[in-house]
Amino acid sequence: MNEAPLLELTGVRVAFDQKGAPGGTLALDGVDLTVHRREIVALVGPSGAGKTTLARTILGMVRPEAGEVTFDGQPLTGLSQRRLRHLRRRMHLVFQDPYSSLHPGRRVEWLVAEPLAIAGTPRHERSAAVTEALAEVGLTPVETFRRRHPHQLSGGQRQRVALARAIVARPDLVVADEPASMLDASLRAVILELVKRLRDRHGATVVFITHDLALARHVADRIVVVVGGRIVEDGPADEVVFRPRHEATVELLDASRRARTALG
């Protein structure tokens, strides 16, 4: 990987907002992270570890108190709201909850075309991209699905709509925040496959957030363990699972191990 990294965080500190615990506790405390192009990196940690805050910081939706976030060579801090919004069009966030992340009053075709509408693509050029993306995520027959409203779709189908939107957006970076955790297990594999495909077919870099190391290992090339607002371990997926170095990782592994029987 001689190319310059797509994303670089150095010494990032983020304080809790007013809603969080007061008294100077930090949501992120000195995070250094480098993400290379076309890599799938899993951020793994227990709830409250700071994974989501980290994701929001990467997207420039949370401004760090200290430290620097650099996206494709461009520092995010100090950018105007307008410039930041423009840069954000090259990133895409896939949400955990497919029930609330889609506007309930709009049809699938509008929802999938929204990144194009935001980018100012002319209306007649949007339709073909939507058709292609819906077909790719398996929402066929496309002509039926594009006219549906979110409430006419199952949870799995809604998450496919969200992923079709990610395809249409053609982002350099996709942040997927536990995209399968609210879905039934039987639908999980397809969603994870579609997330991987954003890298394999569309060349996106993927940051994948989860609390389950086993899942992280199946999806990601690299695992970054986040605990208490710090990165405690960072390495190739199998390396982290088979030869953990930090005790927090060992603890997570232990929980993951005890959360399952040897199957089938």
User: Site residues for another protein, window 63-82 (CB under 8 A)?
Assistant: none
Minimum distance between the CB of residue 128 and another protein, rounded to whole angstroms?
18
For the segment 147-176, give every residue that binds another protein (CB under 8 A). Answer: 154-157, 169
Scanning residues 34 to 53, which ones bind another protein (CB under 8 A)?
46-48, 50, 52-53
Q: Does 258 bind another protein (CB under 8 A)?
A: yes
Contact with another protein (CB under 8 A) among 237, 240, 244, 249: 237
Nearest-approach distance from CB 206 to another protein, in angstroms: 15
Residue 250 touches another protein, criterion: CB under 8 A: no
Query: Considering beta carbons, is residue 2 or 201 the nearer one to another protein?
Result: 201
249 binds another protein (CB under 8 A): no
Q: Which of 187, 228, 230, 245 binds another protein (CB under 8 A)?
A: 187
Kindly tell me which residue out of 29, 95, 199, 228 binds another protein, with binding defined by CB under 8 A. Answer: 95
Cβ at position 67, least distance to another protein in Å: 19
Contacts of residue 76, defined as CB under 8 A and 6 or more positions apart, other chains included, come to 60, 68, 69, 70, 84, 87
14 binds another protein (CB under 8 A): no
- Among 4, 135, 14, smallest CA distance to 68 is for 14
Instruction: Show the DSSP H helices in the chain as ranges.
Output: 51-58, 81-88, 108-119, 123-136, 142-145, 155-169, 185-200, 213-219, 237-242, 247-258
Question: To the nearest whole angstrom, how small is the minimum distance from the Cβ of residue 8 to another protein?
Answer: 20
> How open is the CA angle 67-71-75, to the nearest 5 degrees?
50
Contact 234, 39 (CB under 8 A): no
- Contact call for residue 102 and another protein (CB under 8 A): yes
Q: What are residue 169's phi and psi, to 5 degrees?
A: -70, -15
Nearer to another protein, 3 or 170 (CB): 170
| Contact status, residue 104 vs residue 150, Cβ threshold 8 Å | yes
DSSP state of 33: E
Residue 236 in the binding site for another protein (CB under 8 A): no
Give the Cα separation of 39 and 200 in Å (integer): 10
Distance CA 36, CA 52 (A): 20
Residue 225 near residue 246 (C-beta atoms within 8 A) = yes
Binding residues among 113-142 for another protein as defined by CB under 8 A: 114-115, 118-119, 135-140
* Residue of 10, 67, 121, 190 interacting with another protein (CB under 8 A): 190
